[in-house]
Amino acid sequence: MGIASWWGEDLLAGYDGRPAWIGHNTTVERGELRSRVAAAVNTFHRLGIRPGTSVALRGRTGYTFLETLLALWAAGAQVLILDGRAKRAEVRPTLRLCLPQFVVECGAPRRGEDEAALTVSARADGVPARTDHCLLQTSSGSTGRPKVIGRTVPGMLAQLERLRALPEVPQAGERVLILQSMTHSYGLFSGFLHTLRAGATAVVAPSSSPDGVLARAIDVRANVLMGVPVHFGLLSAVETPPDLPSLRNVFSSGESLSRATFDDFARVYRHRIGQIYGMTEIGAVLTDLRGAYGPPAVGLPTRGIDVRAENSELFIRMAQSPYVFHDRPDRYADGWFRTFDRCAIDPVSGVVNILGRTDSLASVGGLKVDLTEIERVLAAHADVSEVVVVQGEVIEAHVGGAPTLTARALVDWCRERLSDYKVPKRFHILPRLPRSVNGKLLRNRELLHEAYRSATTTTVRSG
């Protein structure tokens, strides 16, 4: 049985005979994907999931998760995406707020496989969709607790149109190796949904290790590589990198890309990393997909997007607040969305430079300190792989790096390059820093320390 007309049918249309998905052990052709989605729609209808039904979809990135998401949309449901890596205690407040009628859970696939078991549970306290949003997401929680964000059909289609208008994005017939989670905005829209709509093929790597990623890129002759900065930092450290003759473009998003990672990757692979600056609330906002400018520049506004700088802070024009079930006057007012990102906009070219968060400006004895400046200095140390600097009672540096890394070495490094009042007074050193469920570095001091309660960390005061 075919799928009744729905808002996203264009995503699945055409390009018969071409693979839509190449996974660990599964290749799914586009016609097969349409048939499988149609069968899942019929199953959901029999279970009572129909237009206007509210559903929470919980799981990790994988073929089953993405097929199920398409089927729920095709069935007319409003879908709340819950990352499968989040603990049940973490998602419980979101469920109480959104009150979905059903919870659909994708189990974890067996190692080396793509498909997973699916369970559907009805919730006694669930209510039908209370808004016209077809997608509900939570923010990353990297700077605080997640909040519910609603996406409408017109807004989602507009985001996909903005992507399609960019000549550097994946085209029909290309193979796109997607490293980031596809349960979140960047991976879902710029990765999977655009790739599907364009007639390209979404590819995942069987291993997230640099060697596994490179082997996969060679095996499938990947044309586009998409990831987050940590992926490109690890790939740049490969001692003997292979040639990637089929590779056309490399894209990064999700968090700030350091100039060091940008330069290292260009040196090792002869490709400049393109950037997408976006928000869960609206999608892709600024792009430099050829890597023409490089960090801290993130490019120009995508088609139909208006931005402005007010007191060196970036604002984005939006027709309505993206937040559901609560007001956020601190984030949205008078048609403008406040990003809390500091920026500089070139008056001639319009290129936007992102200079850090507004909350990265601290005061020490009445003197202003830019915490991102300290991060850049620490990141330049050869043994440092990642760093977050925050202010509590004193300036704290949270550093991921080599086992031999010591706080004393970092203090000496900083004192050679920073004024004394800028040198962090407290260091937390781990092999890797805590991240949110979608892979972003945590930047909220309280969340960082909460994560440390179950980890081993070296803490040293200096100065």
Residue pLDDT, tens place only, 189-214: 999 999 999 999 999 998 889 999 99
Return the number of other C-beta atoms located less than 10 Å from residue 23's C-beta.
Answer: 20
φ and ψ at residue 32, rounded to 5 degrees: -65, -40
- For residue 462, pLDDT beyond 60: no
Q: What is the pLDDT of residue 187?
A: 94
Predicted pLDDT at 461: 46
Length of the chain equals 463
Give the residue, 73 or 254, on which the prediction is more confident: 73
Query: In the prediction, which pLDDT does 430 show?
Result: 92
More confident residue, 368 or 182: 182
* Mean pLDDT to the nearest integer, 169-181: 96
Angle subtended at Cα 351 by Cα 194 and Cα 276, rounded to the nearest 5 degrees: 25
Amino acid letter, 160: L
- Over residues 152-162, mean pLDDT: 96
| pLDDT value of residue 91 | 86
Torsion of CA 247, 253, 255, 256, to 10 degrees: 70
Q: Tell me the pairing of strands 201-203 and 19-22.
A: parallel
Percent of the chain with pLDDT over 90: 75
Name residue 386's beta-bridge partners.
400
Mean pLDDT in residue range 453-459: 59
Spell out the alpha helix ranges (H) of 99-228. 153-164, 185, 194-198, 210-220
pLDDT band at residue 456 using 50, 70 and 90 as cut-offs: low
Mean per-residue pLDDT, 178-191: 94
- The model's confidence at residue 458, banded by pLDDT at 50, 70 and 90, is low
Per-residue model confidence as pLDDT tens digits over 243-302: 999 999 999 998 889 999 999 999 999 999 999 999 999 999 999 999 999 999 999 999
* Domain positions in the chain: 9-151, 158-359, 365-461
* Residues 349, 366 contacting (CB under 8 angstroms): no
Q: Which CATH architecture has domain 365-461?
A: 2-Layer Sandwich (3.30)
pLDDT score of 112 more than 90: no
Instruction: For the beta carbon of residue 450, count every other beta carbon within 10 angstroms.
Output: 12
pTM above 0.75? Answer: yes
pLDDT at 447: 87
pLDDT score, position 459: 54
Residue 462, SS3 per DSSP: coil
Q: Average per-residue pLDDT in the chain?
A: 91
pLDDT average, residue stretch 385-413: 93
Helix ranges (DSSP H) in 2-112: 9-12, 30-46, 63-74, 88-98
Give mean pLDDT, residues 83-107.
Answer: 89
Q: How far is CA 243 from the centre of its chain?
A: 27
Asked if 327 and 191 count as a contact pair (C-beta separation under 8 A), the reply is no
Mean local confidence (pLDDT), 422-435: 92
Tens of pLDDT, residue by residue over 60-71, are 888 999 999 999
Domain 158-359 bears CATH identifier 3.40.630.30? no
Give me the long-range contacts of 288-294 (CB less than 8 A, separation at least 24): 288/351, 289/166, 289/168, 289/169, 289/249, 289/251, 290/168, 290/249, 291/250, 291/262, 291/266, 293/351, 294/259, 294/262, 294/263
d(CA 207, CA 297): 31
Is CATH 1.50.10.10 what the domain over 9-151 is classified as, yes or no? no
pLDDT, residue 66, reads 96
Lowest mean pLDDT across 128-142, 234-248, 405-419, 420-434 = 128-142
If pLDDT is split at 50, 70 and 90, which confidence band does 145 have? Answer: low
The Cα–Cα gap between 182 and 377 comes to: 32
- pLDDT at 143 > cutoff 70: no
Q: How far is CA 288 from CA 249, 269, 337, 442, in A?
A: 11, 18, 21, 25
Strand partners, 460: 427
CA distance 85 to 140: 12
Evaluate if residue 74 carries a pLDDT over 90: yes
Cβ atoms of 423 and 458 within 8 Å: the answer is no
pLDDT (average), residues 149-178: 96
Same fold, 9-151 and 158-359: yes
